[in-house]
Structure 1
Amino acid sequence: MNTNIKWLDTWRVRVARVKRGVGLVISGLLLVVGILLSVALLPELPGLVSVALAGDGEAARTLFVCVAGIAVCVLQWLWRAAIYPELRRATSQEETP
């Protein structure tokens, strides 16, 4: 019976590590998407701002969506421990079999 408990504990630790890794990968990918979006927006920013200030609603909408997308990507990275609960514990606190 003791070996069954050890086996179960071993798998629980492995599943927790996999979930933690998946959370880190997803949050990292979203951060990369935010960085790429900001790099793509940077050369177009002066033109978008001037056209949006001239009264073009589509340019203002595009500018708002891009800035909101960048903000969401960066904020999810900064608050990743709140969004992905499996990232709350440090790896040094996990039990190793």
Structure 2
Amino acid sequence: MGTRWISTWRARWMRVKRGGELGFSGLLLVVGILLSLALLPELPGLVRGTLAGDGEAARTLFVCAAGIAVCMLQWRWRAAIYPQLRRDTSQEETP
């Protein structure tokens, strides 16, 4: 009786944890998309400023590009970053 109760709660906890990790990775993806949309109108001015030698424009452009890259890469490699998102059916138990 106790073992079945523990395995049921363990399965529920794993589902909740998996959903949380998927939700968090999706939230970071949305942040990356919003950052891309916010950078888009400013991009010509930042590139022009960077080519003219403005250090602040170059720093802003680099930080925005790095932030977008991190958000997109964590979505692309979410199964490696968030362990619960790995799909290994050989170890899953059917209740």
Residue 75 of structure 1 pairs with residue 73 of structure 2: yes
The percentage of counterpart residues that share the same residue type is 77
Distance 1:32 1:94 in 2: 30
Higher relative contact order (CA 8 A, sep 6+): 1
Structure 1 residue 95: Cα displacement? 2.9
2:41 alignment partner, one of 43, 54, 78:
43
TM-score, with length taken from structure 1: 0.92
What letter is aligned with 1:62? T
Structure 1 residue 20: Cα displacement? 0.1
CA contact (8 A) 1:13 1:96 kept: no
Structure 2 SS opposite 1:44: helix
TM-score, with length taken from structure 2: 0.93
Distance 1:31 1:90 in 2: 24
Q: Structure 1: 5+ residue runs without aligned partners?
A: none
Alignment of 1:2-81 (within 5 A): 3-81=1-79
The number of aligned residues is 94
CA contact (8 A) 1:48 1:63 kept: yes
